[in-house]
Each structure stands twice: as structure tokens, then as C-alpha cells.
Amino acid sequence: MIALSVACICVGGLASAWAWTATSNTNQVLTVRETVYRGEVIAEDDLVPVRLGVDPAIQAYPAERIGEVVGRAAQLDIAAGSVVTPGQLSDAAVPGPGMSVVGVSLAAGLLPADQITLGDKVRVVTTANDPAAGTSAPEGSATAVDGVVRGLLDDTVTGNTLVNVEVSADQAVRVASAAAAGHVALVLEYQAPAGAGPAGQGEAGTED
């Protein structure tokens, strides 16, 4: 009986140690109560603190930093129950006034490899080239539209990179039409340090 009692105490101690370790390795992080759609401003009621074991690489917002999230806009759709991370948020609604977001699907060679990130300034180059048909546009016919990257996703089916680009509304139809035809490439522009003035590039517009 004594041996059995000792064994029970040991098992209980191990269980308590496991429970303490499991609890100590979790943190209260912010999740969204309901799906927040791109461009919507996040309110305090949209957020729910949940205790989770989260990989530090995810950079989830701790519950005590809720003030850094409230009032910011979603750069992309955040599904209900998802952990909130800095890359999902913007300081302004997207798209902004007079702007539109266009989705483009780009194969390798049509954008810089492993360099495009959210918020980057880019030029969306449109041409009439059709490599599959062996045709090309007349020299000098390519045009470019200034834009900002608002979303990135790898297409596991085609291997392409899906990019959401914010452009001026009056250029959105032209960019969307070219993208649908596969006549689009992205050029990464100089990214001025925070607080620095623009270097040769203004607001999103057109450049021939």
C-alpha cells in the first residue's frame, strides 16, 4: 500500500509539472471574433484574447498590445478565429480614396525573386506580348503604372505568385485587363527609408 501511495504521488507530481509547463509555454494573443474583410477598420469588439501556444516566428500580437491593433485597417481578409499579426494590418483603409486593388498572377521571371513584400512600391508594366503565341509588342509600346503591394500569396496549383496591387482607380481597368491576358510584370522600385521623402516617385499614377 505504501508503494502504491508513493507511486500515485509521483504520478500526480508529474501531471502537475506537465500542466505547469504547458501553461507556461502559452501566451494570451489576439484573435478576431468574426471574419474581418480587407479594408475594414478593426474595433475593440472584433478582438478576442486567447491563450495559445504560438510559434514566435508568427509574431502574433500579445493581448496587452490591443491598443496597437484597434483603429487599424485589415490589409487582407482575416478569417474568424485567426491570430492577428503585423503583416495583416495597415494604418489606412485599403484601397484608399481614388484607388483600386487589382490582383495579378505572375510566373517566375515576371517579378523579382524573393524580394517583393507587403507595402513595397512597384511599377506594374503592361505590354501586348504573348510569349505562348510567339508574338511581341512593338518596341516602346510597354507602359507602367505606379502601385503598392497590398497582398502576396503563392499559388500551389500553378506555381505563380498572386499579388494584390493598389493602383489609381483610373488605371485599374487597364491593369486588370492586361493581367487577365498575362501581359503584366512587376518592377520593384526604390523603397525610401521611413520618414524620408520620395525618391523620384510620387503617388500611384501612370508612367509611359
| Residues 125-142 pLDDT 10s | 998 654 444 445 455 568
pTM of the complete model: 0.54
So what's the pLDDT on residue 18? 42
Give the ranges where the chain is alpha helix by DSSP (H): 2-24, 169-180
Looking only at the bridges linking them, the beta strands covering 161-168 and 143-154 are antiparallel
| Residues 149-197 pLDDT 10s | 888 888 889 999 999 999 999 999 999 999 999 999 999 998 876 555 5
So what's the pLDDT on residue 128? 67
C-alpha span between 24 and 35 (Å, rounded)? 29
Q: Supply 126's cell numbers.
A: 503592361
What domains are there in the chain, each with its CATH number?
27-94 (3.90.1210.10), 99-191 (2.40.30)
Mean pLDDT (the chain, rounded):
78
Check residues 85 and 93 and name the one with the higher pLDDT: 85
In percent, the amount of the chain with pLDDT more than 90 equals 44
So what's the pLDDT on residue 167? 96
So what's the pLDDT on residue 7? 47
